[in-house]
Amino acid sequence: MGRDASYVNGLPNQWANEVGAILDEFGQPWALAGALAAIEYRERVRATGDADLLTTWNPGLPTRLEAAGYAVAVTIDPDGDYPHLLRLRRDSSAVDLIIADTPYQHEAIARAGAAHLLTIEDVLIHKVLADRARDRGDVASILATDPQLDHEYLDAWLDAWDIADRWHAARDRHQEAHVEHDAGLDFGL
């Protein structure tokens, strides 16, 4: 994990690494998602109490995780053929395995590659999709770093998910905050 995130989020980072190692042993592609992934791109680190990993479905996965000592709660979408979420608990650890069930999620995992970290664009897409207050805060903090983004990729998936309006609102809020900050500097505030 980057910067001082491992200090602030030591246990969630450890939990992600432990489950990631199991997924590697099992031959599962996976990527760090959620707050721990966002922290890698944020202006400032924020605390989180769990770890989220995006992976693909394998019917032997719950049994393998149970053998590693995890209690596994399986959540199946009523319209789905397989679980879309595995909640893992062991002692104090809390890891959610989000099971990829869309072409986009499979592409996001592939783009993470050997680093097992969602790209900045994929973190932004996930956060804009979720659209909770903490997700909007993550988007704002990421935008505050003035990142170089693959706008073609980002725009294509934001349009595909029909959430471009949320993205534009987040960028507008960022621009307004940036203008207000610059104005305060101009007046010595």
Give the CATH number for residue 71. Answer: 3.30.460
67 vs 141: CA distance, rounded Å: 39
How high is the mean pLDDT of the chain?
A: 89
Q: How confident is the model at residue 185 (pLDDT cuts 50, 70, 90)?
A: low
pTM for the full predicted model: 0.87
How far apart, in Å, are the Cα atoms of 141 and each of 23, 35, 96, 137? 30, 12, 23, 6
Overall domain count for the chain: 1
- Residue for token pair 């432990």: 18
Q: How confident is the model at residue 80 (pLDDT cuts 50, 70, 90)?
A: confident
Q: What is the pLDDT of residues 36-76, one digit of tens each?
A: 999 999 998 888 889 999 999 999 999 999 999 999 999 98
Structure-model confidence comparison of residues 162 and 181, the more confident one: 162
**Order of strands, sheet of 83-90, starting from the edge strand that comes earlier in the sequence:** 30-33, 51-55, 93-99, 83-90, 71-76
Which tokens hold the place of 45? Answer: 């680190």
Domain hosting residue 122, numbered range: 5-186
CB distance 139 to 158 below 8 Å: no
At residue 46, the pLDDT reads 86
CB distance 30 to 55 below 8 Å: yes
2 vs 7: CA distance, rounded Å: 10
Which tokens hold the place of 187? Answer: 């007046």
Phi, psi (5° rounding) for residue 55?
-145, 180
Range of weakest confidence among 13-22, 79-88, 114-123, 133-142: 79-88
Report helix, strand or coil for 95. Answer: strand
Q: How confident is the model at residue 3 (pLDDT cuts 50, 70, 90)?
A: very low
Does the pLDDT of residue 7 top 60, yes or no? no
